[in-house]
Structure 1
Amino acid sequence: MYGLTVRWSLAQAPEGVDAELREYVHGTSLARFSEMDGLRFKTWRTRPGEWFEGTYVFETAQARDEFAESFAATAADSPGSRMIGSPPILQETFDVVAVAEGKAGFAAGPGPDPA
């Protein structure tokens, strides 16, 4: 499996961007990426007020590399960049050594809402 990480800094992002990003992911992005050819899974991660990140795992290096190239060309105008007010600070590829599914099982869908 072949991975890609895209990270944005939230250090200078507008107030409320964390909630806006969460709403966008739950309302739009989940459905879009759930149907993406060649994608095994995508995880959205955040440290509110610090960074927001998409981590993608693809079936093949070709699928990953094609997506990475396409995204890099439009990253500055992506929905995340528009909400955050700046382009990603990091886009890097990696190889996935292994994935373990624990006894709790794999769960797709939105994560918990912040308290």
Structure 2
Amino acid sequence: MTHRIFTSKVSGVYPHYVTKAEKKNRTKDEVDQIIRWLTGYDQAALEGHLDAGTDFQTFFGKAPAMNPNTALIKGVVCGVRVEEVEDPLMQQIRWLDKLIDELAKGKAMEKILRQ
């Protein structure tokens, strides 16, 4: 069974990421930086996917280069440990959720980007 989020448009969830960040005095640029770090997309490609209404399955499936430091993303999102998620696509989505959570919690970008 395909999870509903897999076929959801990234552009449908993206504004929620930005709102979550901005409520905590973070920026849309920081959200974009996190997405680019995670997926390897450049800004133009990211905006192209948002404009095109790309779903999460396609978005992550076409990602140029998932960051090699994703194994360092640990913790709980929605009661689920991200490092224990078995479905690779769901894990990628959870990684993104976790990074946005860290941004909203005021973590420094260097720590969020595992530098």
Q: Is the TM-score greater than 0.5?
A: no
Q: Which protein shows a greater Rg? A: 1
Structure number with higher strand proportion: 1
Report the TM-score when normalising by structure 1. Answer: 0.31
> Taking CA–CA contacts closer than 8 Å with sequence separation of 6 or more, which of the two structures ends up with the larger relative contact order?
1
